[in-house]
Structure 1
Amino acid sequence: MQITPLVWIVTIAVTILFFVYEFFAHVRKPHEPTIAESARWSAFYISLALLFGVGIGVVSGWNYGGEYFAGYLTEKALSIDNLFVFLLVMGAFAVPKAFQQKVLMIGIVIALILRGGFIAAGSTLIENFSWIFYLFGALLLFLAYRQAFGSHDSNPADGRFMRFVRRHLPVSDEYHGDKLTVVKNGARFVTPMFLTIIAIGFIDLVFAVDSIPAIYGLTNEAYIVFTANAFALMGLRQLFFLIGGLLERLVYLSQGLAVILAFIGVKLVFHALHVNELPFINGGEHISWIPEIPIWFSLLFIGATIAVATVASLLATRGRPRTTPGSTTPPELTEPRKALHE
Structure 2
Amino acid sequence: MNNLIWMMLLTLFFLAMLVMDLGVFHRRPHEISIKEAAVWSGVWVALSLAFGIGLYFWKGAEIGLQFFTGYVLEKSLSLDNLFLLAVIFGSLRIPPKFQHKTLFYGVLGAITFRAAFIAAGTALLARFGWILSVFGIFLLVAGIKLLRHERSAPDPQTNLVVRWAQRVIPMLQDYGGSFFICRNGRRFATPLFLALVMVEATDIVLALDSIPAIFSVTREPLIVYSSTTFAVLGLRSLYFLLAAVTARLRYLHTGLAAILIFVGAKMLIGHFVEIPAALSLGVVCGILLIAVFASLRAAKRENGLLPGLKKMGILALPRGVNFPQGNNAGGS
| 2: CA distance, partners of 1:231 / 1:264 | 20
Report the CA distance shift for 1:119/1:88 in structure 2 as closer, same or farther (over 3 A).
same
Report the CA distance shift for 1:152/1:266 in structure 2 as closer, same or farther (over 3 A).
closer
| 1: CA distance, partners of 2:54 / 2:293 | 30
Q: Is the 8 A contact 1:32 1:97 kept in 2?
A: yes
State the secondary structure of the residue aligned to 2:181: strand
**Residue 322 (structure 1) aligned with residue 307 (structure 2):** yes
1:293 maps to 275
Q: Is the 8 A contact 2:180 2:188 kept in 1?
A: yes
| 1: CA distance, partners of 2:254 / 2:231 | 20
**Residue 70 (structure 1) aligned with residue 56 (structure 2):** no
Deviations 1:202-229 (A, max 9, x none): 0111011111000101111111111101
| 1: CA distance, partners of 2:215 / 2:71 | 12
**Residue 227 (structure 1) aligned with residue 226 (structure 2):** yes
State the secondary structure of the residue aligned to 2:72: helix
**Residue 29 (structure 1) aligned with residue 11 (structure 2):** no
State the secondary structure of the residue aligned to 2:188: strand
Deviations 1:136-177 (A, max 9, x none): 1111111111222243434522223123332332211332x1
Q: Is the 8 A contact 1:27 1:105 kept in 2?
A: no
**Residue 246 (structure 1) aligned with residue 245 (structure 2):** yes
What is the CA RMSD across the aligned residues, in angstroms?
A: 1.9
| 2: CA distance, partners of 1:35 / 1:22 | 17
State the secondary structure of the residue aligned to 1:157: coil
| 2: CA distance, partners of 1:163 / 1:16 | 32
Deviations 1:22-60 (A, max 9, x none): 111233310112222222221121111112111111111
- How far the C-alpha of 1:75 sits from its partner, in A, is 0.4
Report the CA distance shift for 1:154/1:204 in structure 2 as closer, same or farther (over 3 A).
closer
Where does 1:138-177 land on structure 2 (aligned, <5 Å)? 138-154=137-153, 156-161=155-160, 162-175=162-175, 177=176
Q: Percent identity?
A: 34
**Residue 128 (structure 1) aligned with residue 127 (structure 2):** yes
Q: Which runs of 5+ in 1 are unaligned?
A: 275-289, 333-342
**Residue 305 (structure 1) aligned with residue 290 (structure 2):** no
| 2: CA distance, partners of 1:47 / 1:91 | 31
State the secondary structure of the residue aligned to 2:147: helix
| 1: CA distance, partners of 2:143 / 2:130 | 20
Deviations 1:162-207 (A, max 9, x none): 23332332211332x1111223344322111111111111011101
| 1: CA distance, partners of 2:315 / 2:148 | 20
2:327 maps to none
Report the CA distance shift for 1:36/1:267 in structure 2 as closer, same or farther (over 3 A).
same
2:254 maps to 255
State the secondary structure of the residue aligned to 2:309: coil
Q: Is the 8 A contact 1:154 1:331 kept in 2?
A: no
Deviations 1:215-262 (A, max 9, x none): 101111111111101110223222222234212222222111111111
Which shows bigger deviation, 149-158 or 128-137?
149-158
Report the CA distance shift for 1:8/1:40 in structure 2 as closer, same or farther (over 3 A).
same
Which residue identity does 2:12 align to in structure 1? A
Where does 1:30-45 land on structure 2 (aligned, <5 Å)? 30-45=29-44
State the secondary structure of the residue aligned to 2:247: helix
Which residue identity does 1:89 align to in structure 2? I
State the secondary structure of the residue aligned to 2:111: helix
Report the CA distance shift for 1:324/1:184 in structure 2 as closer, same or farther (over 3 A).
same
Q: Is the 8 A contact 2:3 2:221 kept in 1?
A: no
Report the CA distance shift for 1:212/1:244 in structure 2 as closer, same or farther (over 3 A).
closer
| 2: CA distance, partners of 1:83 / 1:142 | 22
| 2: CA distance, partners of 1:213 / 1:309 | 22
Report the CA distance shift for 1:296/1:21 in structure 2 as closer, same or farther (over 3 A).
same
Q: Which runs of 5+ in 2 are unaligned?
A: 319-332
| 2: CA distance, partners of 1:154 / 1:303 | 25
Q: Is the 8 A contact 2:179 2:190 kept in 1?
A: yes
